[in-house]
């Protein structure tokens, strides 16, 4: 069988790997040994080396400085004759605001000090408000119109400068620059109101639900956090082998919160009002302009076609899950929504029959980082250097700093690795741009700075952080984002790295998952595909389409029945925990479409040789280098030498699934 051969190949790879690693490189050691403490007498250089940010009050200083600089640049843009300098000034304006706002956006969720988080949150709101005002500034927009309307001047611009000018104009258009003054003011007010609603919804979606402990059977109370006479449930406990624990967590954690339901209603209504105010049929139509999908109609066509092609496979997988539940449970033979994660894991464990204790020692974080280091060197000539941070540069002493260096071009940028769990740190894996790359006015390239945030177990004593296969996949995924940021050497920070359409931004990160699952790169279980993602994407589209004048829960129930296959559970509101509704409004399908593109790139370019320098450089040149400075469909076309259709995307996902023999869909 194919699975058996893969496992044998992976076992051989592990044996070779064990024989070849005797000492850790500087990169491996940086993640596998206790971090060196900084001398307390060193000068505090401020977060990320920004002097003002040596304390929470520094955010106000940095904010005021950015606002003063913005005022100067707005005046310059409005008074300078049209030309390349117009676009350069717009990009400087964007950069001056983003350098503060992006940093604050990260600190408000990751810093262990509440004072820092609160100061960063206030800065995000202030600069976010200014951005909305600038996006409806008629004089500022007119300076760009003067450029784009002058054919003689346009002819002197390079293609990157012209595209960035068009993207800035697009921002004006979707913000309602064409409206009269009263409607423009209304658009600004709506955007500001939405910023508050986003914060309220995101905060509420993370809060635990509490219940009197007497309601729960005594033998499962210890599985949850107990505060006096109340049990706090802050998650679904989906991996618990105890069915009653999973059921209780699902019903309590997802119990409807009236104020949060109203917040979501207001958020969706506000988005629709804003979209129609500026001339779009729905918020989804506004959000998808400029993406690979282009329209919500194309997204729904993609999701429905994918659902149809997977229906037989999904039915077989539900049957497998039902059989597994009969083996492991006696209370309820039906598969319920709280069962699918646990049962899927149990099925995979039974199929592959591999004891984690056999492979986990080979997946120390240091070993994985060394593997990534070698892979990037072979593919694109890039390697990592562990750097000692200065006092005050980090928000937590367990953060590691990496310099990213190209073998001929030199230093490309910095990655701050916030990888380990700690109290009050969000349990999420993500990539944050702190500073975008761009060519500065003095001819020096502004190096990009990013943060990768994971939730890995910290090293303990002499035992390094040991990763599960899913943790390895997440590490590779987020490093794909980081390398996109490092290698996207664009002239303008407005389109640097991951600042591109959402349904393309996930392609480099998902492609890295294919490398992570290839035994020749790093041994790992075969990945599996989740039909749940189709349901989430469809729900996101319906919520952001035309108003249906019924509750979000009623919409959830209908979409779940159509796209998921598991029954809706009475008195639950899963949508209130779907925090991606804020960040990915109408774009949650992006994961699926990006996976389709990544699958095509993997099969066509790297499946035969995952270390091919020729293909690595081709990938760098056609996809990574442009950031958002080129139409995403053109980048895909350049990489694959064809323009994929919706049907091609669906076929790629189905082929990807079927290649993993016996791997369950769910």
- Give the closest residue to 127 by CA, choosing from 108, 105, 101, 106: 101
| Under 8 Å between Cβ of 257 and 204 | yes
- On whether the CB atoms of residues 577 and 552 are closer than 8 A, the answer is no
242-to-213, 221, 249 alpha-carbon distances in Å? 18, 12, 11
Residue carrying the six token digits 């975008």: 436
Bridge-based pairing of strands 410-420 and 382-387 is unpaired
| Furthest C-alpha separation in the chain | 79
Enumerate residues 6+ apart whose C-beta is below 8 A from 217. Answer: 244
Angle at 366 (CA atoms; ends 363, 368), nearest 5 degrees: 50
The answer to whether the beta carbons of residues 285 and 307 sit under 8 Å apart is no
Closest CA to 539 of 289, 341, 299: 299
8 Å CB contact between 629 and 164? yes
Cα distance between the two ends of the chain: 22
User: Any idea which residue has 């967590």 for tokens?
Assistant: 249
Cα dist from 515 to 231, 603, 627, whole Å: 42, 11, 21
For the sheet with 230-233, list strands across it: 209-212, 230-233, 225-227
Return the HEC string of 381-436: CEEEEEECCCCCCCCCCCCEEEEEEECCCEEEEEEEEEEECCCCCCCCCEEEEEEC
Q: What is the DSSP string of 485-527?
A: HHH---S-GGG-TT-S-HHHHTHHHHHHHHHHT-TTTS--PPP
> What is the distance between the alpha carbons of residues 147 and 13, in angstroms, rounded to a whole number?
58
Return the DSSP state at 567.
P
List Cβ neighbours of 7 (8 Å cut-off, separation of 6 or more). 352, 354
Given a contact cutoff of 8 angstroms between Cβ atoms, the answer to whether 394 and 402 are in contact is no
Catalytic residue, candidates 478, 506, 513, 533: 478
Report CA-CA distances (Å) from 562 to 125, 310, 344: 39, 13, 21
Q: Give the H/E segment covering residue 209.
A: strand 209-212
CA dihedral sign of residues 199, 202, 206, 210: positive
Alpha carbon 77 to its chain's center: 33
| Contact by Cβ (8 Å): 164, 492 | yes
Concerning whether 88 is annotated as a catalytic residue, the answer is: no
Q: Which of 496, 414, 417 is nearest to 458 (CA)?
A: 417
Instruction: Report which DSSP code applies to 636.
Output: H
Name which of 527, 663, 607, 514 is nearest 1 in CA terms: 663
Catalytic residues: 478
């Amino acid at each position: 069988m194919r699975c058996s051969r893969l496992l044998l190949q992976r076992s051989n790879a592990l044996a070779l790997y064990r024989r070849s690693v005797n000492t850790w490189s500087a990169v491996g050691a940086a993640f596998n040994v206790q971090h060196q403490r900084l001398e307390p007498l060193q000068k505090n250089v401020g977060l990320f080396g920004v002097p003002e940010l040596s304390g929470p009050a520094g955010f106000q200083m940095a904010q005021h400085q950015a606002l003063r600089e913005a005022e100067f640049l707005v005046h310059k843009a409005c008074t300078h004759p049209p030309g390349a300098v117009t676009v350069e000034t717009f990009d400087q304006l964007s950069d001056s605001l983003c350098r503060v706002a992006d940093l604050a956006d990260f600190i408000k969720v990751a810093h262990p000090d509440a004072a820092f988080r609160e100061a960063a949150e206030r800065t995000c709101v202030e600069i976010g408000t200014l951005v909305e005002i600038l996006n409806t500034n008629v004089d500022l927009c007119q300076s760009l119109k003067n450029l784009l309307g002058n054919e003689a001047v346009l002819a002197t611009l390079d293609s990157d400068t012209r595209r960035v000018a068009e993207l800035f104009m697009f921002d004006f258009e979707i913000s309602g620059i064409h409206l009269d003054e009263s409607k423009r003011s209304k658009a600004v007010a709506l955007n500001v109101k939405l910023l508050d609603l986003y914060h309220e919804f995101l905060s509420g979606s993370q809060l635990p639900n509490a219940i009197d402990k007497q309601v729960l059977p005594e033998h499962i109370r210890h599985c949850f956090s107990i505060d006096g006479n109340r049990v706090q449930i802050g998650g679904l406990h989906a991996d618990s082998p105890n069915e009653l624990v999973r059921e209780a967590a699902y019903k309590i954690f997802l119990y409807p919160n009236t104020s949060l339901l109203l917040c979501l209603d207001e958020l969706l209504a506000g988005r629709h009002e804003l979209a129609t105010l500026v001339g779009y049929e729905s918020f989804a139509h506004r959000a998808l302009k400029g993406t690979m999908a282009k329209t919500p109609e194309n997204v729904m066509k993609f999701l429905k076609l994918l659902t149809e092609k997977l229906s037989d496979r999904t039915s077989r997988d539900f049957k497998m899950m039902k059989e597994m539940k009969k083996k492991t449970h006696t209370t309820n033979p039906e598969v319920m929504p709280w069962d699918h994660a646990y049962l899927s894991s149990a099925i995979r464990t039974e199929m592959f029959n591999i004891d984690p204790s056999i492979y986990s020692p080979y997946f120390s974080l240091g070993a994985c980082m060394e593997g990534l280091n070698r892979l990037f060197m072979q593919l694109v000539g890039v390697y990592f250097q562990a750097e000692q941070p200065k006092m005050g540069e980090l928000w937590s002493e367990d953060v590691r700093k990496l310099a990213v260096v190209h073998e001929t071009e030199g230093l490309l940028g910095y990655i701050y690795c916030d990888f380990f769990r700690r109290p009050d740190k969000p349990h999420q894996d993500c990539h944050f741009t702190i500073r975008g790359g761009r060519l500065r006015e003095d001819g020096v390239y502004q190096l990009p700075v990013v943060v990768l945030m994971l939730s890995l177990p910290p090293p303990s004593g002499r035992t390094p952080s040991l990763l599960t296969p899913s943790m390895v996949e997440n590490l590779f995924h987020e490093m794909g984002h980081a390398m996109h940021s490092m290698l996207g050497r664009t002239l303008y920070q407005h389109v640097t790295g991951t600042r591109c359409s959402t349904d393309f931004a996930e392609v480099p990160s998902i492609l890295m998952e294919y490398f992570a699952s290839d035994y020749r790169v790093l041994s790992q279980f075969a990945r599996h595909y989740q039909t749940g993602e189709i349901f989430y994407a469809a729900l996101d589209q319906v919520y952001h389409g035309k108003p249906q004048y019924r509750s979000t829960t009623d919409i959830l129930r209908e979409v779940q029945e159509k796209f998921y296959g598991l029954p809706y559970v009475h008195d639950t509101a899963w949508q209130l925990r779907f925090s991606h509704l804020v960040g990915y409004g109408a774009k949650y399908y992006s994961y699926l479409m990006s996976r389709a593109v990544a699958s095509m790139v993997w099969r066509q370019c790297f499946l035969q040789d995952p270390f091919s320098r020729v293909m690595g450089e081709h990938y760098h040149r056609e996809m990574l280098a442009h950031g958002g400075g080129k139409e995403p469909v053109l980048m895909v076309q350049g990489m694959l030498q064809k323009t994929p259709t919706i049907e091609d995307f669906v076929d790629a996902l189905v082929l990807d699934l079927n290649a993993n023999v016996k791997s369950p869909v769910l």
